Structure 1
């Protein structure tokens, strides 16, 4: 019964019809059954995925009807009665759930059945391959995964009660037996952790550059592929950090401190509280204070949780990477000098176009938006 209820709640969430109590119920069911994170995330990704197309919307809709017919979905009304109308402004956007409840629920049901079938088949195959004769040495520990695409954020509760907020373009992977003998997870991207204290089982976060060991605390970790640095910012409690380049060293952080690790393997120095004038040395590790936005004392390192994109003295190239994740777009430059310009500001509720218009005030440039691609040029 709980599994049936979980699928029902997911369908309501995808259709935009889930109430707040139902969303809380879904979160609790996922906490009780962490192995379901992966199949449900797969369904969500499929539901929100929309491949690019250049032909007219009517042809695309006809292809969709053909696919649904191939999946044995019976439509009792002709396509022209489906209630979907396209305008020029809607050609590049996702059809809204309210357009046709019958079509929406049929699509969700097919996705749920298809992904559930694949997942259960793969689960059975994994059990058979890991327990069959001659396979004792090839057993792989099953894992659960929670991820967010660009332009979205999410919150999840791990089996031990630890709360995790994932920023855009991030992924958290942990063993399905999490909390039974150990608490370990691997992070790609950015996340804020509020860890439940358990002295008998330290909580360990692995990233591409550092490993973080905690007992019970709140902290933010940013480790995106392609970024120049990896950061760990401590809000409450204490954390122990080991750097992959220097595994013999342990660094302890206090509240309101942050650790910045240079992702460049050529960096070798270690400095405390490095000022701007000294940053040309590009040390391997910088132990600094967390930063506050002057107008409202927002913590810069965790401002994304308040839906604020704050940037201070960042190059346009660095800001572009953050804007890609924030708005779910791809940004390219045709001028190297434009990439090096330094920018400071804050975005809250601005659209992509409003953000670019604001940046034009302090850095004269032109831009062109084509779908989810943004071209910047002088």
Structure 2
């Protein structure tokens, strides 16, 4: 396979490249990130192909999607045999990319190595361990999955319903669809939206679920309680109900952009930010610590990189064991 000869439509028809676009397979993501970095002259073609792939969410049934994709493939192959110039069918490719993108979902359910099967339901499971992962769903919605988090996507997603299962934390940017509400189940809470941006935090070590609304409107239900949120509002689950409140919009904006900021942070503030940012349970050993005033800014850095900086400047001892972090001095 001569990738150097690939044009945008060739990349779009390559299943490995599709999985890279959808961030659904770590090996494919690593391969294409490396290949594109080593071949910058192909970046315009790969970016064009990626744009086409990500135009998802066409409301067609499976046979219609497959038919349109087959037309696209046949047209490309025919023009190659006849030696026609590519620009003769590129307009059709651009228009049909929506249909091709819809077929991607079928590829992923068949090719995805992390699919879990049960008697009643099949899921594709996404894991984010030491680093965040971006997931682009079949309806065009995007999910930023935080560290130490798991997202389960039923095989039936984007058919009659749009339903996800979360353990950990994720930010959702949902494509509007009045006919198919978007729901997330996390612990004892269920969140339902039509099209909006919201965040759900449901780590097991925190024993509650928190829902924060950045834009739009969401409905949250837990046990026998239910409420609707407006932008800037949040709720936490508690025994038998929901506790309403507000959240720091600036901090959530930083989180979304990957900007972790410490401003004259004390030991407890360091612990709180690491726990909030990376989804780890932080333990501070009880003792008399020297006063700490830590300043630093990190853009999309791993937990290990941030810890290395903190320990170097503050002389704290920080150890990681699984999803737990231990601070001593």
Give the drift of 1:205. 0.4
1:148 corresponds to 2:99: no
Point out where structure 1 has 5 or more consecutive residues left out of the alignment: 44-118, 127-137, 269-283, 293-298
8 Å CA contact 1:30, 1:37 repeated in 2:
no
Describe the SS at the equivalent of 2:206: coil
Counterpart-to-counterpart distance in 1, 2:111 and 2:294: 39
Out of 348-357 and 184-193, give the one that drifted further: 348-357
CA change 1:156–1:25 in 2 (3 A) is farther
Question: Could you say what the CA RMSD is over the residues aligned between the two structures, in angstroms?
Answer: 4.1
Could you say which residue in structure 2 is the equivalent of 1:251?
A: 227
Deviation at 1:286, TM superposition (A): 3.0
Q: Secondary structure at the match of 1:140?
A: coil
Indicate which of 173, 187, 198 corresponds to 1:219.
198
| Equivalent residue in structure 2 for 1:354, among 289, 309, 312 | 309
2:237 counterpart residue number: 261
Cα distance between partner residues in 2 of 1:347 and 1:30: 38
Q: List runs of 5+ in structure 2 lacking aligned partners.
A: 1-9, 21-26, 37-42, 56-99
Change (3 A) 1:357 1:214: same
Whichever of the two has the greater Rg, that structure is 1
Report the equivalent of 1:88. Answer: none
- The answer as to whether partners of 2:255 and 2:277 remain within 8 angstroms in 1 is no
Q: Is contact 1:174–1:185 with CA below 8 Å preserved after alignment? A: yes
TM-score (norm 2): 0.60
Matching residue of 2:179: 200
Deviation of the 1:319 alpha carbon: 4.0
Q: Give yes or no for contact 2:216–2:230 (8 Å, CA) kept in 1.
A: yes
Instruction: Report the Cα distance in structure 1 between the residues aligned to 2:197 and 2:155, rounded to whole angstroms.
Output: 23
Matched, 1:34 2:10: no
**Alignment partner of 2:204: what SS?**
coil
- Aligned counterpart, 1:58: none
Distance of 2:141 and 2:318 partners within structure 1: 43
- Provide TM-score, normalisation by structure 1: 0.53
Deviation at 1:260, TM superposition (A): 2.5
Distance 1:166 1:343, change over 3 A: farther
> What is the CA distance between 1:161 and its match in structure 2?
1.8
Residue by residue over 1:232-255, the C-alpha shift from the partner in whole angstroms, topping out at 9 and shown as x without a partner, is: 111111111011xx3x22111011
Counterpart in 1 of 2:30? 14
Alpha-carbon offset, residue 193 of structure 1: 1.1
Gap change, CA 1:42 and 1:197, over 3 Å in 2: same
Partners of 1:203 and 1:338 in 2: how far apart? Answer: 49
Q: Secondary structure at the match of 1:33?
A: helix
Equivalent residue runs for 1:1-378 within 5 Å: 5-7=14-16, 10=20, 13-15=29-31, 16-18=34-36, 19=43, 21=47, 24=51, 32-34=103-105, 37=108, 42=113, 139-150=119-130, 152-227=131-206, 229-243=208-222, 246=223, 248-262=224-238, 267=239, 285-292=242-249, 299-310=250-261, 317-322=271-276, 335-337=285-287, 347-349=297-299, 351-352=305-306, 353-358=308-313, 360=314, 366-367=316-317, 376-378=327-329
- 2:311–2:318 Cα contact (<8 Å) kept: no
Instruction: Please give the per-residue CA displacement for 1:264-294, whole angstroms capped at 9, x wherever unaligned.
Output: xxx56xxxxxxxxxxxxxxx643222314xx
